[in-house]
Amino acid sequence: MLKKIGYVLLAALVIIQFIQPSQNKSEGTSPNHINTRFSMNDDVAIILKTSCYDCHSNNTSYPWYSMIQPVGWWLQNHIKEGKGELNFDEFTTYSPKKQKHKLEEIGEAVTDGWMPLDSYKWIHKEAVLTAEQKAAVKKWVDQSLQQFPPSAPEEQSDNNKSESH
């Protein structure tokens, strides 16, 4: 009986190898890419490409094991979730408020160390950021945030709301 179950599981494992998820690959640079709105130097561009783009762009570099199921399905779901949170290739389609918030989150994620994810860094050692790389990204974020108009103080906006009623 155990032998039959083993054969069924092996057959199922072989069969699912033919069910491959779609790949997150695009040609060329997106017209909505973040660098069309916020210029970045080559160092920051390389850092983001190496440490962020596999999950947060329209162009993932897939490792060999992504062709093995169910690992490929897990990776594809992870990429879909990552792009849902932040997509560097679609950044200019976000509202200015969302762009500002995402830039703030990029700075926090890098300086606080919650991005790139540990599970990604275990396999992609090149994605581990040095203190200098974190400082470069943070500086770029801070410079980019300066392109937004200053926010009105919270009390001022609350007063304006009460006066209009």
165 in a structural domain: no
156 in a structural domain: no
Average pLDDT score over residue span 54-74: 92
Q: What is the pLDDT of residues 38-47, one digit of tens each?
A: 999 999 999 9
**Among 22-26, 119-123, 137-141, which range has the highest average pLDDT?**
137-141
pTM of the complete model: 0.81
143 in a structural domain: yes
164 in a structural domain: no
51 in a structural domain: yes
Residue numbers of the domain that contains 39: 2-148
135 in a structural domain: yes
90 pLDDT more than 70? yes
* Average pLDDT score over the chain: 89
Cis previous bond, 116, omega within 30: yes
The pLDDT value given to residue 85: 97
29 pLDDT more than 90? no
Alpha helix ranges (H) inside the chain: 2-16, 42-51, 53-56, 71-85, 96-112, 118-123, 131-145, 154-164
Average pLDDT score over residue span 135-150: 95
45 in a structural domain: yes
61 pLDDT more than 60? yes
| Total of domains in the chain | 1
Q: How buried is residue 54: exposed, middle or buried, by Cβ count under 10 Å (0-12/13-18/19+)?
A: buried
Whether the CB-CB separation of 82 and 55 falls below 8 Å is answered with yes
